[in-house]
C-alpha cells in the first residue's frame, strides 16, 4: 500500500461519510487538490486491487477491505493527535498536518503500543471518535451546549457567535476549543449550567451555552 493509495482511501472514506455512499471523481479531486484525470487513474488501480467498487462514470465506493484500511488509517491519525496534544503539548490546531504524516507509519506494534500508552483514548482532541483495533467506534454529533442533557460529556469544537466580545468572554473564562466539557447540572429557573472544564466546575448562563458547539459521542 503506497502513500498515495492510502491518501485516496482516506479521502474516499471521509467523503463517503455515512455509509457505502458512492463518491464522485470530481469530489475526490477537489478534496485532494489534484485533477480528475489523476483520480480516474488511481481509482482504476484501487478497483483492480479490490479496495473500491467502481463503475465508469458512476462513482466509487469502498469495499469491505477498503473500509477496514480506512479505519486503520483514521485510528492511527487520531491516536497520534492525542499523543501530540497530551504528551508533547501541541495545541488543538497544530496537530493535523503532523498526524497526516505519522498515520502512514507501518508498524502494528507501534499503534498498539501507542494506544496502550495513551490509555486507550476514545476521542481525539477534536472530539472525533477513535476506531478500535477491530474498527469499531461510536458516531459523534455536534450539538449546542444548551441542548444536551445533564451528564453529557463532549469536546468544545466551535462557536455560533464569533463576535469579539463573546470570544473575549470565553478567553476570560478560560474556555478554549478542544477543551473537554462535562455538564454537571442545569438550573431550572434560568436554564444556566454548571459544567466541569479543565478539571474545575464553573457556572455559565444559558445564553453562553447556546453559542458553544459540543461534539459528543453517543
Under 8 Å CB-to-CB from 174, ≥6 apart: which residues? 197, 198
In whole angstroms, how close is the CB of 87 to a copy of itself at the nearest point? 6
In whole angstroms, how close is the CB of 143 to DNA at the nearest point? 32
Which 188-207 positions form the footprint of DNA (CB under 7 A)? none
51 belongs to the binding site for DNA (CB under 7 A)? no
State the Cα–Cα distance between residues 37 and 210, nearest whole angstrom.
45
Size of the site for a copy of itself (CB under 8 A): 19
State the Cα–Cα distance between residues 89 and 77, nearest whole angstrom.
17
State the Cα–Cα distance between residues 87 and 153, nearest whole angstrom.
22
Which 89-128 positions form the footprint of a copy of itself (CB under 8 A)? 89-90, 94, 97-98, 101-102, 105-107, 109-110, 113-114, 116-117
Which 1-40 positions form the footprint of DNA (CB under 7 A)? 2-5, 7, 24-27, 34-40
Q: Give Cα separations from 202 to 113, 131, 184, 192 (angstroms).
A: 36, 32, 10, 11
In whole angstroms, how close is the CB of 81 to DNA at the nearest point? 23
Which residues are paired to 195 by β-bridges? Answer: 183, 202
Which 122-181 positions form the footprint of DNA (CB under 7 A)? none
The region of 52-60, 82-90, 164-172, 193-201 touching DNA under the rule CB under 7 A is 52-60
In whole angstroms, how close is the CB of 110 to a copy of itself at the nearest point? 6
In whole angstroms, how close is the CB of 77 to DNA at the nearest point? 18
Nearer to DNA, 23 or 74 (CB): 23
Q: Give Cα separations from 181 to 76, 136, 176, 184 (angstroms).
A: 24, 24, 10, 9
In whole angstroms, how close is the CB of 214 to DNA at the nearest point? 35
Q: Which does 34 bind (CB under 5 to 8 A by kind): a copy of itself, DNA, none?
A: DNA
State the residues that interact with DNA by CB under 7 A.
2-5, 7, 24-27, 34-45, 54, 56-59
State the residues that interact with a copy of itself by CB under 8 A.
84, 87-90, 94, 97-98, 101-102, 105-107, 109-110, 113-114, 116-117
Amino acid at each position: 500500500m503506497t502513500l498515495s493509495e492510502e491518501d485516496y482511501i482516506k479521502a474516499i472514506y471521509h467523503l463517503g461519510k455515512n455509509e457505502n455512499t458512492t463518491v464522485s471523481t470530481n469530489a475526490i479531486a477537489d478534496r485532494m487538490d489534484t485533477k480528475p484525470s489523476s483520480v480516474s487513474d488511481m481509482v482504476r488501480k484501487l478497483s483492480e486491487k479490490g479496495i473500491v467498487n467502481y463503475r465508469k462514470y458512476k462513482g466509487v465506493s469502498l469495499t469491505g477491505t477498503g473500509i477496514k484500511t480506512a479505519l486503520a488509517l483514521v485510528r492511527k491519525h487520531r491516536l497520534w493527535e492525542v499523543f501530540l496534544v497530551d504528551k508533547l503539548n501541541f495545541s488543538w490546531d497544530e496537530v493535523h498536518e503532523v498526524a497526516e504524516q505519522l498515520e502512514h507509519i507501518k508498524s502494528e506494534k507501534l499503534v498498539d503500543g501507542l494506544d496502550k500508552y495513551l490509555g486507550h483514548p476514545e476521542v481525539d482532541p477534536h472530539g472525533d471518535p477513535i476506531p478500535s483495533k477491530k474498527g469499531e467506534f461510536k458516531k459523534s454529533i455536534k450539538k449546542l451546549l444548551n441542548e444536551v442533557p445533564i451528564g453529557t460529556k463532549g469536546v468544545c469544537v466551535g462557536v455560533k457567535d464569533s463576535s469579539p466580545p463573546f470570544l473575549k468572554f470565553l478567553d476570560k473564562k478560560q474556555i478554549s476549543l478542544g477543551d473537554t466539557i462535562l455538564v454537571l447540572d442545569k438550573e431550572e429557573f434560568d436554564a444556566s449550567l454548571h459544567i466541569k472544564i479543565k478539571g474545575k466546575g464553573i457556572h455559565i448562563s444559558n445564553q453562553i451555552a447556546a453559542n458553544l458547539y459540543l461534539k459528543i459521542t453517543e
